Structure 1
Amino acid sequence: MQAVAYSNFRKDMKTYMKKVNEDSDAIIVTSKNIEDTVVVMSKKDYDSMQETMRILSNPYLMEKIRKGDEQFENSTFETHELFEVENDE
């Protein structure tokens, strides 16, 4: 993760915004006051992180994931063909 001073970030904000979107790597924007330091990340990465946090905080979903992992590890799972949905409206 790259760190950049606020003044440099402000001067070249467009380039830094493009970089976080293209590289999928957040940037730390530092300030003289450490409490004003921020992290800049792409909206796509932010949305992904939020969804991960939602899943991790849901006991029902986590139990399903653990059960699936267990089944895979113990080879007690079943495979099936995927089916096509004609119209998903």
Structure 2
Amino acid sequence: MQTVTYSEARENLKAVLDKVVADRGPVMITRERGENVVLISASEWAGMEETLYLLRSPKNAERLLEAVRGFEADDAEAVPFP
């Protein structure tokens, strides 16, 4: 994760925002006084919210994790799309 100071983020705000969106990765902004913060794009945040929502149900979470394990084991089955 890229890290920048509060002063660097303030001086280069547009560049920092553009990097977060382009790289689809977070940037940590460190502060001398106060807790550090992490900046992410709105689309990444929406994806995180969706993932958390889907994992909220234990049964759904187990089904999703089984699917991921199957995919990672190359045990996935192709299903034709109509």
Amino acid corresponding to residue 48 of structure 2 in structure 1:
M
Corresponding residue of 2:14: 14
Query: Whose Rg is larger?
Result: 1
What is the CA–CA distance in structure 2 between the aligned matches of 1:66 and 1:40, rounded to whole Å?
27
Identical-residue share of aligned pairs (%): 29
The two structures have a TM-score, normalised by structure 2, of 0.75
How big is the shift at 1:82?
A: 2.6
The two structures have a TM-score, normalised by structure 1, of 0.70
Q: 1:60 to 1:8 in 2, by over 3 A?
A: same
Corresponding residue of 2:49: 50
What is the CA–CA distance in structure 2 between the aligned matches of 1:42 and 1:28, rounded to whole Å?
12
Return 5+ residue gaps in structure 2 as ranges: none
Greater shift in the superposed pair: 2-11 or 52-61: 52-61
How big is the shift at 1:65?
A: 3.0
What is the CA–CA distance in structure 1 between the aligned matches of 2:67 and 2:44, rounded to whole Å?
26
- 1:9-62 deviations in whole A, cap 9, x for unaligned? 001100000000000110000000242x11001111111111111111122422
Corresponding residue of 1:87: none
Asked if residue 3 in structure 1 is aligned to residue 11 in structure 2, the reply is no
SS at match of 1:25: coil
Q: 1:58 to 1:16 in 2, by over 3 A?
A: same
Return 5+ residue gaps in structure 1 as ranges: 84-89
Question: Alignment RMSD, CA only?
Answer: 2.7
